Structure 1
């Protein structure tokens, strides 16, 4: 198994500082580590040059192109419409559009019904701009909904993916917890990268969600959860593990060992 990470832009033979700890943990566990020029790949440049340092045989996992995870699997994990149906019972009721047309958004808000909601695109919300570009106090206010949508589009710019997603608002009483899953098994539980010092509750209950995650058949994902006001753990987000941040307060050894071990048949 090979761990592939983005290269440091200033020192292209070394891993990007963001992934240094994971690279060191992988090497310590006896695995090969290679770097790629992520910027060159993103710009559609010389792929062969960008991957020049990658050698060896066997499956590879890219922290940040995908070999162990197919393109279809990546999209199913990375975009909400890909995973929503499988986890619908454990997450907020959601509807979405294809594209950013106002009429389609208006249809979606009517479909979801009255009340508060959270707006995002297929991959991400602008939760750090909560009142301007994420939270909708009342879906019945079409003007306010579109105002939030426009601000979200302005902030996302070229990173806007797929279409608008409207999610029924739920009130939570805990910080988010990030869980890591390899071949359908939870291998690590820790804080969310946005709140790295808020340790998860020891009473987190993964039993209801575990068969849902396993049923997706995805090799490497993260699932973010939070405790709802009624005491039920709810799924906030499912993401592809390759592009999910590991909190700075979590040692990478456990995740690396589980990820780079032999894939389960």
Structure 2
């Protein structure tokens, strides 16, 4: 299965996660999205539980053709199996399994964007000794995560390493991270160099420092919508040159639907934080109405 990059903008449908206890209802966390999407698009429901049990798993509107999944994060294996099963029903998820994995796992996209993001290196296991071998004589602050997720809301004891050369602190933070990820750990241990950002406050529950950050949804090679990660403002504080820089990143994306997170550094410049598959990326503070309205100019409805 190779990439199928959209050149024309076809009619699309949406597939939402269903309620685990009632597969004919949308998951409550996606109710607002489903409400707005269903006003203009055919929307079906996907039951992961029934899919895993080998039972019928698609409910709601009858859909065929290009479809965007909006639901809980799937492992690469789960996504691949779902993609193949849906193909047999005439449903084509917007991203192939290869595209999903490319922007879901950091090591797969890092080399193409190395100059625009934080210095990073990684292991291929959850073993402390494997990542220790790669640290070498590096010093300074780093963030620990796996191929997909960090534990940023446990900033001080399972995410932020004050000095990677301090072996006691390094081992404690990495060990905490791996242990707390448990069965959700994906791929290997990733260490990303910490750079000072333009901090705007602290998270009211976790105490994690919050920076000026933006989430960009990209659809078929075009910016769909940009939102302030923490405040939801779609007017934004990005200059024309900064938007041009973001577009230069978009031009190198090899997937139909992704998210790009960028943040402002302490010196005022922007840096690429993360990529994500657009189907399993949250809206953060973007409004559901604005998000689904943004598709209209790009689609045949």
TM-score (structure 1 length as normaliser): 0.87
Say if 2:179 is the partner of 1:154. yes
Does the 8 Å contact 2:44/2:63 carry over to 1? Answer: no
CA distance in 2, matches of 1:137, 1:259: 46
Gaps of 5+ in 2: 1-11, 72-78, 84-92, 199-210
Once the two structures are TM-superposed, the CA of residue 75 in structure 1 deviates from its matched residue by 0.7
- Superposition map of 1:180-259 within 5 A: 180-192=217-229, 195-196=230-231, 201-203=236-238, 205-255=242-292, 257-258=294-295
Cα–Cα, structure 1 residues 259 and 134, in superposed 2: closer, same or farther, change >3 Å?
Answer: farther
Q: How many residues align?
A: 256
Q: Which residue of 1 is the match for residue 197 of structure 2? A: 172
Pick which of 31-40 and 207-216 moved more.
207-216
Cα–Cα, structure 1 residues 260 and 60, in superposed 2: closer, same or farther, change >3 Å?
Answer: farther
2:46 to 23, 27, 36: 36
Secondary structure of the 1:18 match is helix
Cα–Cα, structure 1 residues 56 and 116, in superposed 2: closer, same or farther, change >3 Å?
Answer: closer
Q: What do you get for the CA RMSD once the two structures are aligned?
A: 2.3
CA distance in 1, matches of 2:169, 2:145: 15
Q: Which residue of 2 is the match for residue 136 of structure 1? A: 161
CA distance in 2, matches of 1:61, 1:10: 23
CA distance in 2, matches of 1:259, 1:73: 23
CA distance in 1, matches of 2:278, 2:105: 13
Once the two structures are TM-superposed, the CA of residue 200 in structure 1 deviates from its matched residue by 7.3
Does the 8 Å contact 1:26/1:257 carry over to 2? Answer: no
Deviation string for 1:11-33 (max 9, x for gaps)? 4322112222222222222x210
Does the 8 Å contact 1:36/1:54 carry over to 2? Answer: no
Once the two structures are TM-superposed, the CA of residue 45 in structure 1 deviates from its matched residue by 1.7
Pick which of 158-167 and 61-70 moved more.
61-70
Does the 8 Å contact 1:2/1:59 carry over to 2? Answer: yes
Deviation string for 1:150-200 (max 9, x for gaps)? 1001211100000011111111113321111112211111122xx346777
1:8 to 19, 29, 53: 19
- Larger strand fraction of residues: 2
1:90 to 116, 119, 139: 116
Gaps of 5+ in 1: none
Q: Which residue of 1 is the match for residue 64 of structure 2? A: 57
CA distance in 1, matches of 2:197, 2:124: 29
CA distance in 1, matches of 2:165, 2:188: 20
